[in-house]
Amino acid sequence: MHSFAAPALALIERMNLAAQGNPARAVAFQGAPGANSHRAAMEWAPECLPLPCFSFEDALDAVKQGRAGSAIIPIENSQHGRVADIHFLLPESGLSIVAEHFMPIHHALMGVAREDGTTGPFEAAYSHPQALGQSRHFLRERGIVPLSHADTAGAAAFVAERGDPAIGAIAPALAADLYDLRIAEDRVEDAADNTTRFVVLAPEPLDPASLAGERAMTTFVFEVKNIPAALYKALGGFATNGVNMTKLESYQREASFSASMFYADIIGAPGAPAVDRAMEELAFHCKELRLLGSYRLARERG
C-alpha cells in the first residue's frame, strides 16, 4: 500500500477498512483509486467494495488470502494488445475466471495548474505502459515524453504529489477529481473505440452446468507434446467439432525456449458434446492442459 503516492493513501486506507468489514463484497483491482480497473469493478458490480492493490499479484493474493471475494484484471486492449504478464499470472494464481467485462477506455491529460490557472505545456507525462501505448500518437505529436508508472491513477497521484506543472499524467478523468488536478485535454486515446477486456477471478470456478442454455466462453492454457505437427493435430478437434476458437496466443514459460505455452478462448463450455470431444482430442496431444474457467459470454465474437 505504501508504494502509492501520498495523495492516494488516505483514499486507499478508507477503502481497505471498508473491505475488511465485508471481504465477500470486496473486489480487488490493480491501481490507485480512480484507475480504469476501479471503474471496471464498479461497472461490473455496482454494490461492491473496491479494494486497491499496488500490483496484479497483490490483487490476486487478496483473493487467495480471503481479503476479497474476487479480483477484476485487465487482460487485453483493442488497441494495444494483451496486458503484459497476465498470461503468466492467471494460470499460477490458482484462481478461476468466472466472468468477463468489456469497458470503453478514455484517457485525459492532466496536471497541476500553474499560478495563472492554466495547465501545460507538458515536458513529460506519467502513466501505465498500456495507457501510454494507447496515446502514443497524441504524445508524440506534442513532444511529450512518456514515462512509465505502475498505473494510471497512481500516476495522477504522483503528479499531484510532485506539484510540478511541467509534468502531466495520462489517466481517467475521475483521477483528476480525486487528486485535485486540472484536465488539459480529454479523450487523448488514439482510437475512439479503445476498449479493454477484463476478467473476474474467484477462488472457485463456475459449474459449467450452471451455464446450460447460455452463450459461454471457456479459457484454458496448454502445452503440446514436442513432436512434429502436434499443434496442428491438437487444434484439429475444434474445427471438426465446430467449436469456435476466438483467441490463441503463445508465450514462453521457461528460459530454455524449448516449448511454447498457449493461451486460448473458445465459445462453449464443458458438458456440451462438441466441446467435450474437442477438449478430449486436445488433451491427447498435450503435455499439459489447464482449464482457467468457463463463464458467460459478455460480448458476441465475430
Catalytic residue among 198, 222, 238, 262: 198
Catalytic residue among 196, 218, 220, 238: 196
Cα separation, 18 vs 231, in Å, equals 48
Mark whether 196 is an active-site residue: yes
Closest CA to 31 of 206, 154, 139, 144: 154
SS (H, E, C) the chain: CCCCCHHHHHHHHHHHHHHHHCHHHEEEEECCCCCHHHHHHHHHCCCCEEEEECCHHHHHHHHHCCCCCEEEEEEEECCCEECCCHHHHHHHHCCEEEEEEEEECCCEEEECCCCCCCCCCCCEEEECHHHHHHCHHHHHHCCCEEEECCCHHHHHHHHHHHCCCCEEEEECHHHHHHCCCEEEECCCCCCCCCEEEEEEEECCCCCHHHHCCCCEEEEEEEEECCCCCHHHHHHHHHHHCCCCEEEEEEEECCCCCCCEEEEEEEECCCCCHHHHHHHHHHHHCEEEEEEEEEEECCCCCC
229: CB partners within 8 A, 6+ apart:
none
Mark whether 56 is an active-site residue: no
The set of cell numbers assigned to 62 is: 487478496
Active site residues: 196, 198
